[in-house]
Structure 1
Amino acid sequence: MTTTHMLDQARAILAVADAKLEKLRNVRPYLIDLSLRENPVGSAIGQTLADKLAILPKLREFGFTNISLGTLDYAMPDELEVDDDFMMYLRDNHIDMTGCFAFTAMGIAAPDGTFTPDASQLKLAAYTVPNTVHEIYLSKLGMQGNYDLPTLRRSLPVSVQWLHDNMRGDNGGKPRILINIVDGCDAFSESLETTCEILALLATLPIEGITMEDDRGTYLPFQVGAYVAVARNYLPPPFKILVHVHSGAGFENASVMEALLNGADGAWGGLPKRAAVIGHASLAELIANLVRVGNPYMRTYRLDQLLPLATGLQELDEMAPVPDDLPIVGHNAYRLSLSFFAQRADRFMDLPPEAIGGTYGYRVCPVISDSPVLAGRLAEVTGKPPSIFGSDVTTQMIRLMRRDLRAGERIDYDEPTALMTLYERALASLPLPDVAA
């Protein structure tokens, strides 16, 4: 194989990657924000009615046009939740619910044709929420204790029709109904034939589209992408396909990207990382990553508020700081340990913190930190400009950290008191100036 031929092959391989980037740049994602539900579900604290009333206008101001107000509990519908109080408050005080959703469960049609709406459907209509994400299960384990496949087949069309007959959508129009396959990835992996049969049924119903979950976050990105591609074959545009992926195995954001590349229209999730399990592919991460690839539609959002809003909401839910090492929104995501790691606005695929409402900070790590990082951290601690901390003293600080480690001393130099002690030691150990010169 000649050098020219190998180079042509390299160009062809990279052209495939470039085509994927171009697709991500041009997608106008359909997003449903769940910061009022997804995040408090996994929180040790939760949200009060007052919290939710304060959060809703912030989500609208940020730029979300589709917002879930909550889930109308299926297991204990008689015991109301804050979500119920919230929707009743919005209704009773005539607060605009345009673009708002609530999650509901499917009603049941008996073999004789008698239909019993789920309690969540009755609440949805009573609360005048205009749109819904209507949830079903397709795997054997998911259906167990809820319904069997024949019941699902006959109930789903009737349940959707009940929603049309009993809801008023945005501005008095038709409600937007998305069918969420809660166990979507499980269903595809367990029974392709059954799942495709239900997708074909959904294609005949008056719905806006579907959403599907990897609710434990255990499927690999290429599997999620493949399941989306199959669903797209059954549900061509204008049907919408959204995904929701939890952080079970660390694949979540890659899975959402694979879903978009394979025909998904968007995703739903909270703005913060916190979710029902250990986290999820949050909308903050998705928006930030689409900004990273140059997607112009992200300019519809208040990107200068993305970082402070996402972290502020999580701190509200947890009554504790955001974990330092979360990507994108964690405190350490933009604290440099080495100046070489800085992301720049003029470099492809970088996302400097200023692009999402943040600023760079500094974190001293004795094995790697260089002079700019030490000067930056000293400036943070002292409030003085970094320029006053010359390379002579910061270089000496590096030498001392190395010597300490070699001597078996393990010190957290990032801690302000330890940092200033190190600085004083460095000053004291610098060679005296040659006064004779």
Structure 2
Amino acid sequence: MTTTHLLDQARATLATADSKLETLKNIQPYLIDLSLRENPVGSAIGQTLADKLAILPRLRAFGFTNISLGTLDYAMPDDLEVDDDFMIWLRDHKVDMTGCFAFTALGIAAADGTFTPDPSQVKLADYGVPNTVHEIYLSKRGMANNYDLPTLRRSLPASVKWLHENVRGDNGGAPRILINIVDGCDAFAESLETTCEILALLATLPIHGVTMEDDRGTFLPFQVGAYVAVARSFLPRPLKLLVHIHAGAGFENASVIEALLNGADGIWGGLPKRAAMIGHASLAELIANLVRVGNKNMSVYQLDELLELATGLQELDDNGAVPDDLPVLGRNAYRLSLSFFEQFADRFMDLPPGKIGGSYGYRVCPVVSDPPVIAGRLAEVMGHPATAFDDTVTRQMIRLMRQDLRAGQRIAYDEPSALMDLYKRAGGKLAVATASLQWEGNLYE
């Protein structure tokens, strides 16, 4: 094969990638924010009623129009949760709940046609929440102790009918009902025929759409993409198709991208990374990555507040810091250890922190950090501009770090006191300009 033929093949391969990129650049993702529920579920502390009342207006101000207020289909429904108190407060204080959702469970239709709504459905109607994500299970494990397949077939139309008859939707219209297949990926893997049968049934019902989960985060991105493509073939637009992907094996954000490329309209999730497991494909990460590819539709969100809001919500839920090395959202995501790693607005696929409300910081790593990084970190710690630190001194600091390691000394030079000692050993003469400026890495203020 000639070089010309190989080059033609290369162009064709990259054209496929460019086509996918165009899809992501132009998509207007349908997002449902779950920062009031998804993040507290996996957090060390959770949210009080006062917390939720403070968070809701911030989510609206950021730009979210679809917001889940909480979950009503939890165990022991007679023992209320904060989510109940929150929705009751909103109802009693006549707060506009347009665009709001709550999660509910399937009501059951008996063989004789008698229908019993789930307690969560009754609460949804009583609390005045206009829309719902209505949850079902399709795998054998998921359906065990809940219902069998014949009962599911009977109950789905009856449950949707009850919701339409008893729930007042946005602006007095019909409720938006999204059927969530909690074990969606498991169901596809276990029984394609049964899953497709239920999807075909759902396509005939008066619903807004369907969502499906990888609830343990164990399926590979190409599997998620394939399942979404099959689901889309049974659920023609304008029916919505959303996914929710947990972080079990580290695939979550790639799985979301595969889902969008294979016909999904969007996702639901919290703005922070924290979730019911060890994390999930968060709205903050998706929004940031769509900004990365040049999606102009993300301008509907207050992007200059993204990092501060996402990290602040997680810190509230956990009463602790966001993990340092979390991609996009962690403290070290935009702390340069080597100046070569800096991202620029005019370079393809870069996302400089300023685009999402952050700024660069610096982190001294003895093996790799170069003079610009060391000068930047000295500036943070000592309060002088980075240009005040002589290149001769910063290079000597590099030499000393190498010598220390070779001598078996392990020192965390990024810590302010260790950095100052190193600076003085290298011949640095400047004094700390601002004694209180012992910088601890808050990039978002």
Normalised to the residue count of structure 2, the TM-score between the two structures is: 0.96
CA displacement, residues 89-137 of structure 1 (integer Å, 9 cap, x when unaligned): 0000000100000000000000000000000000000000000000000
Task: Give the secondary-structure state (helix, strand or coil) at the position aligned to 1:310.
Answer: helix
Letter in 2 for 1:414: D
1:207 is aligned to 207
1:82 is aligned to 82
Matches within 5 A, 1:341-352: 341-352=341-352
The structure-2 alpha-carbon separation of the partners of 1:158 and 1:10, relative to structure 1 and needing over 3 Å to count, comes to same
| Contact 2:393 2:428 (C-alpha < 8 Å) held by counterparts | no
Q: Distance in 2 between matches of 1:7 and 1:109?
A: 61
- Structure 1 position 73, deviation (Å): 3.4
In angstroms, what is the RMSD of aligned CA positions? 0.8
Q: Distance in 2 between matches of 1:2 and 1:347?
A: 32
Q: Distance in 2 between matches of 1:157 and 1:75?
A: 24
| Contact 1:104 1:134 (C-alpha < 8 Å) held by counterparts | yes
1:107 is aligned to 107
Letter in 2 for 1:282: S
Matches within 5 A, 1:37-186: 37-186=37-186
1:18 is aligned to 18
Task: Give the secondary-structure state (helix, strand or coil) at the position aligned to 2:426.
Answer: helix
Matches within 5 A, 1:273-352: 273-352=273-352
2:252 is aligned to 252
Task: Give the secondary-structure state (helix, strand or coil) at the position aligned to 1:210.
Answer: strand
Q: Distance in 2 between matches of 1:78 and 1:95?
A: 25
| Contact 2:42 2:274 (C-alpha < 8 Å) held by counterparts | yes
- Structure 1 position 241, deviation (Å): 0.3
2:27 is aligned to 27
- Structure 1 position 390, deviation (Å): 1.3
| Contact 1:74 1:119 (C-alpha < 8 Å) held by counterparts | no
1:9 is aligned to 9
2:441 is aligned to none
**Runs of 4+ that moved beyond 6 A:** none
Q: Distance in 2 between matches of 1:340 and 1:62?
A: 33
1:420 is aligned to 420
Identity of aligned residues (%): 80
| Contact 1:169 1:175 (C-alpha < 8 Å) held by counterparts | yes
- Structure 1 position 428, deviation (Å): 6.8
| Structure 1 alignment gaps of length 5 or more | 430-437
Q: Distance in 1 between matches of 2:309 and 2:92?
A: 28
CA displacement, residues 302-325 of structure 1 (integer Å, 9 cap, x when unaligned): 000000000000000000010000
- Structure 1 position 75, deviation (Å): 1.6
Letter in 1 for 2:61: E
Task: Give the secondary-structure state (helix, strand or coil) at the position aligned to 2:427.
Answer: helix
Letter in 1 for 2:29: P
- Structure 1 position 383, deviation (Å): 1.0
| Contact 1:178 1:210 (C-alpha < 8 Å) held by counterparts | yes
Q: Distance in 2 between matches of 1:330 and 1:121?
A: 38
Letter in 2 for 1:29: P
- Structure 1 position 32, deviation (Å): 0.1
| Contact 1:247 1:279 (C-alpha < 8 Å) held by counterparts | yes
Q: Distance in 2 between matches of 1:155 and 1:13?
A: 47
1:435 is aligned to none
Normalised to the residue count of structure 1, the TM-score between the two structures is: 0.98
